[in-house]
Amino acid sequence: MHYLSGMDLVEIEEIRSKIEAPGAFFLEENFTPAEIEYCESHKKNKYEHYAGRYAVKRAFLKAVSLGAGPIVRLSDVEVTRNGRAPRLELSSGLKQKLKFSPNTKIYISLAHERALAVGTALIAQS
């Protein structure tokens, strides 16, 4: 078994500023419509939800040694929920680029507290 891991820490206020910037496309560039709908449904703490998802997406890209940019968009990586546990779904294009085996498992964790959000990703490949 081969493991890849990544971690990222994000300031929630920084994410709020990027989202609220006039003329910004931060949401569309970094989140899927389903993620935006989920975060917006949590009116009281939506920025914490955005920040956690942003952190775990960046953690995943660190684990696979890819940066966001012209080759990979953060919107190619989607945080979904299966019951209470978050999961990571990859776009078909990103799956092809990464060439993961069918046995590859991706485990993620995200959390937010006060001013910070953290995301971790662990990829297990056989």
Q: What is the pLDDT of residues 40-72, one digit of tens each?
A: 999 999 999 999 999 999 999 999 887 655 567
**Range list of β-strands (E), the chain:** 2-11, 77-82, 85-90, 105-113, 116-125
Please tell me the pTM assigned to this model: 0.91
Strand partners, 23: none
Any idea what DSSP says for residue 75? G
Domain ranges of the chain: 2-125
**Could you confirm whether domain 2-125 is CATH 3.30.230.70?**
no
Residues of the chain with pLDDT under 50: none
